[in-house]
Amino acid sequence: MLSQETINTVKSTTSLLAEHGEAITQYFYKRLFELHPELKNVFNQVNQKRGDQPRALADAVLAYANNLDKIEVLVPVVERIAHKHVSLGIKPEQYPIVGENLLAAIQNVLNLPDAHPALLAWEEAYNLLANIFINTEESIYQANESAEGGWRGFREFEIDKVVTETPEVKSFYLKPTDGKTIPAYSGGQYIGLKVNPENSEFDEIRQYSLSNKANGKSYRISVKREDQGKPGIVSNYLHDTLGLGDEVILYPPAGDFYLQDNAKAKVLISAGVGLTPMQAMLETLIAKQQTEQEEQADKPEIHFLHACENAAQHSFKKRHAEVAQQGKVVNYTWYKADESEAASNSAELFNGYMDISQVEHQLPLANADFYLCGPVGFMQFAKQQLVNLGVNNDSIHYEVFGPHESL
């Protein structure tokens, strides 16, 4: 544990971190990649160029400093980031490298002399956090490795099937090349996928949500092509270059965004490609209902709210309609484009942006877990609506694509 003196010294730097945090993290990454270019195979260079990763790290460093005397409040964030690290194959020996360069960045940007008390305090604080991450990640690695069909590190898979869901989204079915079983996962989790596109100097690792329930034989990811103002290196590589029989490298399923094991009703809320983890959750819940042989007359426990541009961009639309006909789930859909005629013929189809108040009387607001996935702006918008309708914050769970952000 840290001494009170160390805690006080680190906390005394919070105003400087708030002012110069992003400059520190930008210098950190520049120095890190100059001295250790091999780490470009791990860190997403697109997020670096957009500035997303430096901003996220600056926020994380400041949050750590502010909560150094109450580490327990950081546990959920540490768990979430540790899962992301595992999906990247982060190793314990990389933490000292990161620490050395982070301290050098703090010293340079804040113009501190060697052995300044703030540097010594931050070194001690960083080492504590690094050990927390190393231990948390090792427990995840061990769990992945000990699971039936599990493994540690990378494993070769081949593309067994490709399905076009919408003009922008394709589903890829991935089977292990060794023909052996693969571990189960919880609906909402993701896999780390590593490829080396011809137009990239380094390996590219991305996290993709698993979009169907676990079956022990294959994984399915549903990938949106990113080409509107975004590089989309990996998504375009998957869409345009890879096909049946091509190989990719996967890290085991990870992620702390999954269904809570309780008797509460489930409300799934998504927008755009945020539908993918929700599809896995939905299929998992349906299988559970069928196993428990719930009577059709029972009130459905699954409510699915989804927003997208239009019907053509609505992935898994047919599958959702089939499920709704079985009486297992109620779908509510919002199309941004004006499809008034279609909306007038359906009590569950609306035009414009998602307005949860339109269906609030059909939702179990007081006794349900709510799961959100989609662009950050959408999730902030949806979460605020739920809070305004009286939903407790503890009942709202979410997943953010890319560097960790808080709603």
Asked if residue 405 is part of any domain, the answer here is no
What would the pLDDT profile of 91-115 be if each residue is shown by its tens digit?
Answer: 999 999 999 999 999 999 999 999 9
pTM above 0.85, yes or no: yes
Does position 402 have pLDDT exceeding 80, yes or no? no
Does position 201 have pLDDT exceeding 90, yes or no? no
Residue 401 has a pLDDT of: 66
Retrieve residue 264's tokens: 């509460």
> One of 27, 137, 237, 371 is an active-site residue; which one?
137
Mean pLDDT (the chain, rounded): 89
* Residue 49 vs residues 53, 102, 257: alpha-carbon distances, Å: 9, 19, 27
Domain count, the chain: 3
Residue 407 has a pLDDT of: 54
Residue 300: pLDDT band with limits 50, 70, 90: low
Same domain, 201 and 330: no
First-to-last CA distance in the chain?
Answer: 30
> One of 95, 237, 251, 335 is an active-site residue; which one?
95
Residue 346: pLDDT band with limits 50, 70, 90: low
Does position 406 have pLDDT exceeding 80, yes or no? no
Over pLDDT 90: what percentage of the chain? 69
Asked if residue 404 is part of any domain, the answer here is no
Residue 163 has a pLDDT of: 95
How far does CA 230 lie from the centroid of its chain? 18
Q: What is the CATH number of the domain that holds 395?
A: 3.40.50.80
Of residues 397 and 300, the one with the higher pLDDT is 397
* Containing structural domain, residue 42: 4-146
Of residues 165 and 286, the one with the higher pLDDT is 165
Q: What is the CATH number of the domain that holds 240?
A: 2.40.30.10
Same domain, 181 and 309: no
How far does CA 197 lie from the centroid of its chain? 23
Rounded mean pLDDT, 277-296: 79
What would the pLDDT profile of 30-74 be if each residue is shown by its tens digit?
Answer: 999 999 999 999 888 777 777 778 888 888 899 999 999 888 888
In the block, tokens 């662009």 appear at: 375
Rounded to whole angstroms, the Cα distance separating 130 from 143 reads 20
Residue 95 has a pLDDT of: 96
Same domain, 173 and 61: no
Same domain, 61 and 101: yes
What would the pLDDT profile of 145-156 be if each residue is shown by its tens digit?
Answer: 999 999 999 999
Residue 287 has a pLDDT of: 83
Does position 274 have pLDDT exceeding 80, yes or no? yes
Within 13 A of 275's CA, how many CA atoms are on the CB side?
28
* Residue 84 vs residues 66, 99, 108, 151, 208: alpha-carbon distances, Å: 23, 19, 29, 16, 11
Q: Is 137 considered catalytic here? A: yes
